[in-house]
Amino acid sequence: MCGICGFTGNIPDNEKIVHRMAEVITHRGPDSEGYFIDKNGEISMGFRRLSIIDLDGGTQPIYNADKTKVLTFNGEIYNYKQLREELISLGHSFYTKTDSEVILQGYEEWGEKVLDRLRGMFGFAIYDTTDKSLFIARDFFGIKPIHYAQVGSHFVYGSEIKSILEFPEYERKFNARTLDNYLSFQYALPPETFFEGIYCLLPGHYLRLKDGELTIKRYWEATFEPDDSLTEDEATDKIEQVFEESVNAHKISDVEVGCFLSSGVDSSYVSTYFADQKTFTVGFDFGEKYNEIDWAKELSAKIGVDHHYKVISSEEFWGNIRKVQYHMDQPLADPSCIALYFVAKLASEHVKVVLSGEGADELFGGYTIYNEVNSLRGYQKLPLGLRKFLAGVVRPMPKFKGRNFILRGAQTVEERFIGNAFMFNKAEKQKILKDGSIAHEPQEYTKKYYDRVKDYDGITKMQYLDINTWMVGDILLKADRMSMANSLELRVPFLDKEVFKVARTIPAPLRVNKKNTKYAMRRAALRHMPEDWAKKKKLGFPVPTRVWLKDEKYYNIVKETFESETAKKFFNSDELVKFLDDHFNGKEDNSRKVWTVYIFLVWYNIYFGEKLPDPAKL
């Protein structure tokens, strides 16, 4: 795994600048570095390498035969050997054994159509010295990141935002629009970022810069086409076959590969292909609800893997919040990202590559909330007018069992579901924000995604939305940043083109039904592991934030932050403290909302303080 960066146009000290841009992402590639600086000052490209394949010969940049094209690449291509053979048959010759060179020679042969042939995760840049064009692409699901900005006459890009911040002509400005969507979703909704003028290239997209004109195009989209003729057994067979093939492809490496392991079915399923290899788990000392280590240890013993684990102390967790938010680039209020940092750190002490279970929930229907479509189906047979009337009656009432059912039953999927995290609605944002005019209903942001899938069933609509928002802005962002912060490559075999070709055909009732979520996928997993693991309910990555925020020590840390000058710049501090106090006193479980605001303020002080901090001192 690696990091790339660069900029177009001549600028004083361009060599020093691109070196600095690469230096701040050394954690992505501590093994070596490489640069291409055009003699005419047209472009400066930087690269940091974490060597995984062709350890001796895989140095970048990579050039084509006549050195008219140059590539820097972050990621892995799992079908590179097959593509290499095809390209050799077409007359190409190779001077390395890397997957990187296959991309470049494939681009030379097929242009942007090479993207249709790649199987893997990637963010890469190709510069063509003949027509002075720059081609940048991001993988299908957005496993690997690409950020970019137009800064005056310069186009600047990087695997992480912090590279772009090192470009001297970029002026750091806070993007208030993103604060609005962050407060609803708990992450910055792509393609916007918290930095004015800096964007993330969306998954399945490429951009081309030529003659000063920037064009961005989508080349792939995760669309569903359920095959209702599939039986349970047929669906299970297809999933088992394609997933086994995907795991084997993702294990290709010239260094040792390990596996993350929780108590859930996703990582457990992956780990069953790791006999005699290493697995890694972390947990908290707050009882079984917040500690999956015992489950992981027991499964590891059953399947014969070398299991490593760590219990994260409260002091360690809170002591690393700033470091984690620095590496995230943008605030992410998902507390599991900090736990992920620790499991990545643990794994990096033993291996260079790990496999993990991200993507299974989005592709195969794993989130419990997806079953709401089924649970509301009977109630929603009542006339809409009656359901709206009943919702209006109960809305002003105090909370009671069934109230939420009546309220949500009066709404369409598009109205009630904005993704797996829903923090603040418009009215709540207007109440806590100093400038309430920036507040919008979160449904305004999700509408463009729902509009693309009007004919899908409710469950599939929710999956499509999560694939394009939650998975990109939360799940894959933290997976990339937390693994790379520890110079560890993280691979996700569920998020594979071939796996999705099967997932898209699974009928909704075989994804989510009364028996379970991820129903067909669990049946496939059951063939490889004990029933208790294959059927275990979805937990996520449990972190005891609600417990900590009732502890006076951590309550006071957050309260001090809520009453700071930074907080008063954006928020009505009294309202923030009331949220915190109501949680501390047991009136409401406001832990997720409190955490969302707190993490933003921690992040803001890091990136908009007087100067960017030295990460070694965080």
As to burial, measured by CB atoms within 10 angstroms (0-12 exposed, 13-18 middle, 19+ buried), residue 240 is: buried
Told to judge if 2 belongs to the known catalytic residues of this protein, a careful annotator would answer yes
How far apart (Å, rounded) are the C-alpha atoms in residues 477 and 199? 14
Helices (H) and strands (E) in the chain, counts: 31, 17
Burial environment of residue 269 by CB neighbours within 10 A (0 to 12, 13 to 18, 19 or more)? buried
Q: Are strands 2-8 and 154-158 parallel, antiparallel or unpaired?
A: antiparallel
What is the DSSP-derived secondary structure letter of residue 472? I
What would you measure as the largest C-alpha separation in the chain, in angstroms?
74
CB 247 within 8 A of CB 257: no
* Strand boundaries in 363-511, DSSP class E: 489-491
- DSSP state for residue 289 in the 8-state scheme: G
Strands of 278-284's sheet in order across: 306-312, 278-284, 257-260, 353-355, 489-491
Cα-flanking dihedrals φ and ψ of residue 384, to 5°? -55, -40
- The answer to whether residues 177 and 198 touch, using CB atoms and an 8 Å cutoff, is no
Here the tokens at position 198 are: 């800096």
At position 9, the amino acid (one-letter code) is G
CA distances from 332 to 185, 421, 514, 596, 615 (A): 10, 11, 33, 8, 18
Q: How would DSSP label each residue in 97-144?
A: --HHHHHHHHHHHHGGGHHHH--EEEEEEEEETTTTEEEEEE-SS--S
d(CA 48, CA 60): 8
Closest CA to 487 of 305, 302, 351: 351
Rg (CA), the chain: 24
Question: Would you please indicate which residues are annotated as catalytic (active-site) residues?
Answer: 2
